[in-house]
Structure formats: structure tokens, C-alpha cells
Amino acid sequence: MSYYEPLAYIVPSEEDGMMLKNILRNRMQLSRKLLSRLKLTPEGITVNGERKYTSVRVKAGDVVEVRMEEEESEDILPQDIEFEVIDEDEHLLIVNKPAGMIVHPTHGHYMNTLANAVVHYWRQRGEKVRFRPVHRLDRETSGVLAIAKNPYAHQFISEQMQNGAVDKWYMAIVRGSVRENGGTIEGPIDRDPESPHVRIVTPTGYPSVTHYEVLERYGEEATLVRLKLETGRTHQIRVHMNHIGHPLLGDEMYGTDEEGRRVAAYSADSNETAEGETLGRHALHASTLGFEHPSGRGPVRFEAALPPDLTGLLARLRSGHLE
């Protein structure tokens, strides 16, 4: 049996006599689910190299180590697809997901996903790792995406996301001139009863909060905004910006007319980049992701610059030649 690199914790003097399970839960921040799994793993939990029950008490200077069994995503076919690595260590792979790529295989989309590309990348490097995205990005959304390389890292960051402790910033180009320089959108979100794959703002929905600030206006045509998510509902930014009358450029699902019918924010003919190519997606980019690193090295922050299609669109807007 092979393991990932162990997580280690040296017991300080003030924790002399503390029960091992309290060290694991409160100091190493292991979830109950992961702790139960480790109890059944040979060498999963050791103190000074010896396997111990979690009911024992530790001494100052003891080295508590946690070992997780290596895993692979055997149901994901490796595929040689190029992608950008922003950062990588034994716990995390941070990538810059391109627009148009699905994160994980789904029914009807078993290949050409980020998962296929990452599994191939790891196998070429001889790494036995299971594909565990910590969060998701829509197919058309580009930008920073975190992938956990072991169960502990996934749990550690997922808990931060549930507690609202992860810094998630997006850049979007929206239709029209946003009058306020910044603000907060609080609108409960749930599925549209008439179209279950679409989300809407409804009083009976789940609490959803989006903060935004205006970076640049392009007359009455469009606005570049920076957004921060306080909650993480499906399509949240797209739904909220449409709710205040400023749908994302290129968003065919959530661009609406005055009567509320869904229409394209811009047609393919008019929604072009500076190079004359159609944008072909909604103008949303995950620019920044920050969180407490699972290794204990403190807070980290990862960034991805706007891709060429969006910088091209901005160039056209600045020049006044969108049409």
C-alpha cells in the first residue's frame, strides 16, 4: 500500500496530556469523515511512528502523523490536452481553466474535459492522484481553479468555502452602464420551475450575496466590473447581474429584454474580439482565489490574467467599435 506524503504535527508543551482525537480534530482540523477513514487505514494515524488509538493521550514533543492512501481516478480517461498550471505542490494543483472546457466528465461529455487533461498530466509525471476539484467553474467561464491532490486538502478548503473564508474574485463585462460605483446584490436564488437548468432570483430561493465594484465604463454600451462572491450558488454572478439589469455580454441564457424573455446579450455577429473573432461565451473570468493553505504555510493567493478573447473585447469597447 502506498501513501501520500504524511501530514505531521509536533505536540507543543501546552498540549501535553491532550487526547489524540482532540489533536486530530482541533489542531490538524481533520473532519469526522476523514478521521473515520484513517482509523481503518494501516499506518493512517501514528504517534512517533507507532499506530495508536485516538483515545490515547499525547506528550509534549510527540510527532503525530496522518497518512492517506494514494488514489487514482480510474473512471476518467487520460487525454493529452494542454492547460496552464499556475501553481502545484503535494496538496494542490492550481490551474487557469480555459473558456469552453468542462471541468468534470458528465453524461454526453466524457472526453475533452479538464479532468481528462489533468489525469493525463499526473500519469505522465508518475503521480497516482485522484481528480478532486475543490470548486467548479461554468464551461464558458475561464480562470483560477483549485484541484485537491488528497482528501485532507479537499476537506480543508471545502470547509473554508462553507464558512465564507475563501477569497473569490471575478471580472465580468456586462451590458449597459452600471450607475453605482459599487454595491451588494442580495437575491435568493433557486431553479426556474419552468426551466430547471436555469436559475432565478425568487423569495423562496437560497440566500445569495454578490459584491461588485465598477472598474471601467464604456459609454452606455458596457461596464467592466469586479465581483466577489459571499455565497456560491450555481450561475450566481450571471443571475445577479441580470437581476439588476446588467447581464453579462455574450450570456445567451441570462440576457433578457424588458419583458423578461431570455435573449442573447449580444449576437455572435456583434460580440467580437479585437482580432475579429466572435467571443462565443459569456464574458466572465475567475481572476483571484485566496485561502488558508492546507499545509499550514498560511494564506495563499492565486491570480489569472484576463484571456485574449476578453482583452480583445475590451479593446473594441474602448475604441468604440463594438458593432
Examine the residue annotation and report whether 80 is marked as an active-site residue of this protein: no
Distance CA(18)–CA(96), nearest Å, equals: 43
Question: Chain-centre distance of CA 258, in angstroms?
Answer: 33
Nearest by Cα to 56 from 10, 2, 19, 83:
19
Set 62, 138, 251, 309: catalytic member: 138
Distance CA(81)–CA(78), nearest Å, equals: 9
Distance CA(95)–CA(100), nearest Å, equals: 15
CB 113 within 8 A of CB 104: yes
The residues assigned a catalytic role are 138
